[in-house]
Amino acid sequence: MKRWNRRTCRISAALLALVLAACGGGSSGGNAVPAAPQPAATPAAGATAPDLGGANSSAGLHAHADAALRGKTIAWVPIATGVPITDIWTRVMREEAQARGMKFVVRDPNFSTTAGLQAVSSLVDQKPDVLVVHNPNVQLYAKELKRAEEAGIPVIQVNMISNYKTAAYVGADWHEVGRMLGEEVVRQCGSGSGKSGKVAIVQGELTSANSIEQMEGITATFARDPAIKVVSSQAGNWDATRAHDITTTVLQQHPDLCASVGFWSGMEAGAAQAVKAAGKLGEVKVYSSGGDGKVDCDYVDSGLITRLLSYDAPDQAKAIIQLASFILQTGARPDAFRVANYSTLHWMEKGKYDPALCYDPANRWNEGTS
């Protein structure tokens, strides 16, 4: 699968108002957000205060935003709820949407690709104001996402992208994740380390963007050090039990395994349990990536995962709603631009991580905060 061009816009909340200009797009005739007036000089003593009324005022801007957002519907189709990262996205998106007076609806396929495709197709027919999807693989929703945009529905893709690129993507840069994980493995297991150089890879769904792009990054990195030997690369299909069974077999065949790399922490935890059961925890390095909040903190605190490359799921959810707000306020066509908001990556290891990454969707506040 072709990756997004590196020149693709990278936006942040602070730069949302510049997206169209930066990406060479423009409004399609919708009402553009009025330009903010320059602050007036402080009036001299006895002078009349500036008039804050009118269409080009703070009140006018507020009215414009309220009219564009209030009552609008954001529809969300995750792969499944009941998973820490999707529960984080769902909770934060709901809070952010409702704060803007927007309706937030969820369709849960519960890991069924058939149910997921039916949910997306049904929502396109119902015409929500914004559609947010988490793609199980690069092809499943492609035709429906194209149909959504042709119907005027902006689509924001989350963390795993489709072959069909819609108005926006919010999530990890998986090629970069693969490169960074690969470099860490080379550092621990490569030339000069005195280790076997043997590495096992537990992929997710083989046709997901997560697996495809991470494999591109990690393979290119390993190729630069001949000491690295990939002795197993199998699909765990996001299942911790399958990752456990794969890793148990690999350890039996290669007791001198140096590292296991899994493409999602919730799955790789199963591989880590196999390493622990073999009495090799700490000896065999376990690496993964994820944005599962408190669960990921527990993995590194317990020593199950040696180092974890994290992305901030609550920030991703906020970026999604900010993008939806921007699109609705500009009135831009879904095909007027293509933007990506790639998440900042954070290394986590025992005793060395930002506690803010430990968001618990079942408890609004992180442990130890007020």
Same domain, 62 and 126: yes
- Which domain covers residue 271, as residue numbers? 174-305
Q: What is the CATH number of the domain that holds 23?
A: 3.40.50.2300
Does the pLDDT at position 15 exceed 60?
no
Residues 275 and 319 in one domain: no
Same domain assignment for residues 325 and 208: no
Give the span between the Cα atoms of 318 and 321, in whole angstroms: 5
Among all chains, which residue has been given the structure tokens 């140096």? 258
Looking at the fold, whether 121 and 255 belong to one and the same domain comes out as no
Q: What is the pLDDT of residue 56?
A: 74
128 domain-assigned: yes
What Cα–Cα distance (Å) separates residue 193 from each residue in 25, 49, 88, 132, 190? 50, 71, 38, 45, 6
Residue 270 belongs to some domain of the structure: yes
Query: Are both 88 and 123 inside the same structural domain?
Result: yes
pLDDT at 29: 36
Q: Does 365 have pLDDT greater than 70? A: no
354: DSSP letter: -
| 118 and 145 inside one domain | yes
> Do the domain assignments include residue 37?
no
Number of structural domains found in the chain = 2
Task: Write down the pTM of the prediction.
Answer: 0.83
Same domain for 17 and 123, yes or no, is yes
Residue 196 pLDDT greater than 90, yes or no: yes
Tell me the per-residue pLDDT of 39-63, one tens digit each, with 9 for 90 and over.
444 444 454 545 545 667 888 889 9
In a domain, 301, yes or no: yes
Residue 135 lies inside a defined structural domain of this protein: yes
pLDDT in tens, 114-124: 999 999 999 99
Q: Residues 121, 152: one domain?
A: yes
Mark whether 19 and 131 lie in a shared domain.
Answer: yes
Asked whether residue 180 falls in the same domain as residue 164, the answer is: no
| Final residue belonging to a domain, choices 245, 278, 305 | 305
Residue 155 sits in the same domain as residue 206: no
